[in-house]
Structure 1
Amino acid sequence: MTLSWFQIVRLGLVQMSLGAIVVLMTSTLNRLMVVELALPAILPGFLVALHYGIQLTRPQWGYMSDTLGRRTRWIIGGMGLLALGGLSAAWGVVLMEESFALGLGVSILAYAIIGIGVGASGTSLLALLATATAPRRRPAAATITWLMMIFGIAVTAGVSGQFLDPYTPLRLMEVVAVVTALAFGVTCLAVRGIERRVVSRPEAESAPFLEGLREVWAEPRARMFTIFVFLSMTAYFMQELILEPYSGLVFGFTPGQSTSLSGAQNGGVFLGMVLVGVAGTALRIGTLRQWVIAGCVGSAGALVLISTLGQMGPGAPLVPAVVLMGFFNGMFAVAAIGSMMALAGEGREAREGTRMGLWGAAQAIAAGFGGLVGAGLADAMRTVMSDPSAFGTVFILEAILYIASAFMAVRIMDRRPQASAFGAAVPGE
């Protein structure tokens, strides 16, 4: 028995909960450290890179859920760790105001726990979706769950931004506590009983982990897609740690306004995903390749616009430009996700979790690398340039990476018109 649409939506609630916690860690706390505490951007960059670095364990989590079964326990356990890590990370920021060393120590431990939680919960969830969803529904299932995650990110960023103003450490702890508690509770209810009703692991797998990973890497399509994920996600995440500080330092945004900016960006991502979903499913317009290329090129153009607005300073229409960037990000992301879910079921069976783990690890490396490089370059540029020019230079470099990703998509992705963005996987695609 495979997942019904209702069950797919329930699992999407887990993605929504995961995104709700992570957005506070990668945007709100980052902004507070750089602007309110006047710390260098490389510090939150290091902490976020740490949590992504820990996610190099994703292939191992996927392999364990392949071999040991009962993916539900890994999902719930991972979400519990994520909630604990999120609350501890907020506490670490509060402690930095009194004792930087103590706050940094707590933050390092917290972000490591966040990485473990995301790796265990996120990878096991995607593996469950890949193995228990009928092949014809996999791309659409991926789209639904990612739309729900983006919705959770946008709503959390927007609503929490309203409650954070005026900022106080107590208010921060209250907001994060509510978000993490709700996320864990929703996850427990969402996954309850689903795995018992579906076939999520077709056969037992006894091969050692490294042997299984080598088998997946030997698959040409899996290997090339891993490289594409790394390059494109590096571009995607370079602005993650500098956009909110940019809005505060160059445009004078308050903590609440800059947190809401993240919500506006992800609102744009949501709209981009919906557009591609409607066009690809109902109207059968475009292929995975075409949507990825359009999303990459559009994202590059939006980044150039954001860089240019920095020269205008306060009063410039930053929010619409950020929404536009998010819109094209969503176009690119949903096509890549649809391809990922379709490819996860190809090749040798009982390797879905390992494949998803491999691609998740590539994304995590790219996210940590991109975020850290973006923050480090911004810090370096600010020593020799004005803030608008320093941040703008990083945005231009990110735009160049998007263009490079588009060229790679031209070379490796299927160009045939029947390969709809949401259609069933085409043999040999």
Structure 2
Amino acid sequence: MAASHLGWLGIVRLGFVQAALGAVVVLTTSTINRVMIVELMLPAMLPGLFVTWHYALQVLRPSWGHRSDKGGRRTPWILAGMAALALGGFGAAVSVHIMASNMLAGMIAAAISFTLIGGGVGAAGTNLLVLLAKRVAETRRAAAATIVWIMMIVGFILTAALAGQFLDPFSTERLMAVAGVICAVAFIMTLLALWGVERTVQPTEKPAAARPHTPFRQAIAEVWADATARGFAIFIFVSMLAYSAQDLILEPFAGIVFGLTPGQSTSLSGIQNSGVLLGMVLVGGLSTLFPRLMSLRSWTVLGCVGSALALSGLVAAAQVGPGWPLNPSVFALGFMNGVFAVAAIGSMFSMANSGGQSREGVRMGLFGASQAIAFGIGGFAGTVLVDVTRLMLGSPVMAYATVFAVEAVLFLAAAALAAAVGRREGFGDAANPLILAARHQASGS
């Protein structure tokens, strides 16, 4: 029996999986990270190294995608990855409890836990995106990307809010209890959301036993030899490097240059996230209702250029100071980031399917690895560049202005890369799903 494309309910179900992934990740990279620094008074470098290690493991994403390509099913990999992630998330909370009495044993437990987290995120996240890419109709991919990423952000927000409520008064025992509940609920939600999604086989796929076995090195070499896939992976790296470099410096910038209190700078982050959500909804909605309006490639380029302009506004804000309208500038940056991000993700779905030869997992793994490595480097590099330029220039204002300017240049470079990839065979069609569907229909008739 041939499998039909996922309807909106099926897309939302997979969005719950992404929300579950986000819930466990934000617990470990935000809450547990803060506990290590504030309550345990550890150097920020130590939890930073654990988070960086979990990003570093994402280089294995292409390998996990290749292994699921061989079997033809993604659900087992998503469930196994989510199990590892949930175990690692709970283990990270346990490691904090151990650190309170035995620092060495706690560090070893944390290293093991963050290894599970990195492996779980890579295996589950890569194959979830492949499943979406294969089971969502071309004309719905931008909207699907919007739905899934909004649900992930909702997972971030709900987890932070609930964890914050139940962690007070704080104790490491309470942290373990809260983490255990969050991780268990995340795994159960994933199990229920995936139930029956892959019950049937895609009509274009061969059964797993009928597929010729290709070694991973050959498979990744074939994907990398594809100029379109290679160019898109490089675009993902550069754009996400620019996107992530602002994460750890925007709130300190607001405090130092504009004198905002911690509460006010946290509200500023909320303004930015509101802009991100609006940009995602706009692109997802317009791409679905009016697919001829703009291609996903064009939305991607527009978002990158717009992000560069918004960052230029922050460069000016650093020079002008408190008289500058900071909130609108940060909202504009978030909005353009949302436009770029959801369009790039929608294009990623199309690109994963464009190469044939059952290489969807390898392609998505390559794109996911590019994104994760950029995130791991970007946040750290942004803080290092601020410190270095502050020492060189003797001015924190000029230091932040310099970093924002570098990010703007990176976004412009990403826009040029996206436009160049779009001129190559394959990406231009995949970026406009309506035209692609019409061509398939014409060739079939």
TM-score (norm. length: structure 2): 0.81
Q: Does 1:297 align with 2:309?
A: no
Please list, as runs of the form range in 1=range in 2, the aligned pairs for 1:11-410 lying within 5 A after superposition: 11-31=14-34, 42-93=45-96, 101-161=104-164, 169=172, 172-199=175-202, 202-203=205-206, 204=208, 205=211, 206-243=213-250, 251-253=260-262, 265-284=272-291, 285-305=293-313, 321-380=329-388, 385=394, 390-410=399-419
Amino acid across the alignment from 1:288: L
Is the 2:81–2:122 Cα contact (8 Å) retained in structure 1? yes
Is the 1:42–1:375 Cα contact (8 Å) retained in structure 2? no
| Residues 354-379 of structure 1: CA deviation (Å, up to 9, x unaligned) | 11111111112211121232233345
Task: State the distance in 2 between where 1:350 and 1:360 align.
Answer: 17
Task: State the distance in 2 between where 1:171 and 1:313 align.
Answer: 42
The SS at the match of 2:4 is coil
Q: Unmatched 5+ residue regions in structure 2?
A: 441-445
Q: Unmatched 5+ residue regions in structure 1?
A: none
Report the structure number with the largest CA radius of gyration: 2
Task: State the distance in 2 between where 1:157 and 1:314 align.
Answer: 30
Is the 1:21–1:83 Cα contact (8 Å) retained in structure 2? yes
Is the 2:142–2:287 Cα contact (8 Å) retained in structure 1? no
CA RMSD of aligned residues (A): 3.7
For 1:4, the equivalent position in structure 2 comes to 6
Q: 1:267 to 1:180 in 2, by over 3 A?
A: farther
Amino acid across the alignment from 1:291: W
Is the 1:27–1:241 Cα contact (8 Å) retained in structure 2? no
The SS at the match of 1:195 is coil
Is the 1:92–1:107 Cα contact (8 Å) retained in structure 2? yes
Aligned pairs, number: 426
Deviation at 1:68, TM superposition (A): 2.1
For 1:411, the equivalent position in structure 2 comes to 420
Task: State the distance in 1 between where 2:397 and 2:38 align.
Answer: 15
| Residues 142-188 of structure 1: CA deviation (Å, up to 9, x unaligned) | 33323322332344345545666776655554543443222212101
| Residues 248-279 of structure 1: CA deviation (Å, up to 9, x unaligned) | 7874316xx87776565444322211011122
Task: State the distance in 2 between where 1:20 and 1:45 align.
Answer: 19
Deviation at 1:44, TM superposition (A): 4.1
Identity across matched positions, percent? 50
Task: State the distance in 1 between where 2:74 and 2:430 align.
Answer: 31
Larger mean CA deviation between 224-233 and 372-381 belongs to 372-381
Larger mean CA deviation between 216-225 and 169-178 belongs to 169-178
The SS at the match of 1:207 is coil
Q: 1:324 to 1:139 in 2, by over 3 A?
A: closer
Task: State the distance in 1 between where 2:189 and 2:267 align.
Answer: 23
Task: State the distance in 1 between where 2:5 and 2:20 align.
Answer: 20
| Residues 128-153 of structure 1: CA deviation (Å, up to 9, x unaligned) | 22233344444443333233223323
Is the 2:6–2:135 Cα contact (8 Å) retained in structure 1? no
Is the 1:128–1:200 Cα contact (8 Å) retained in structure 2? no
Deviation at 1:215, TM superposition (A): 1.4
Q: 1:4 to 1:304 in 2, by over 3 A?
A: same
Is the 2:300–2:418 Cα contact (8 Å) retained in structure 1? yes
The SS at the match of 2:302 is helix
Amino acid across the alignment from 1:214: A
Q: 1:34 to 1:323 in 2, by over 3 A?
A: farther
The SS at the match of 1:196 is coil
The SS at the match of 2:262 is coil
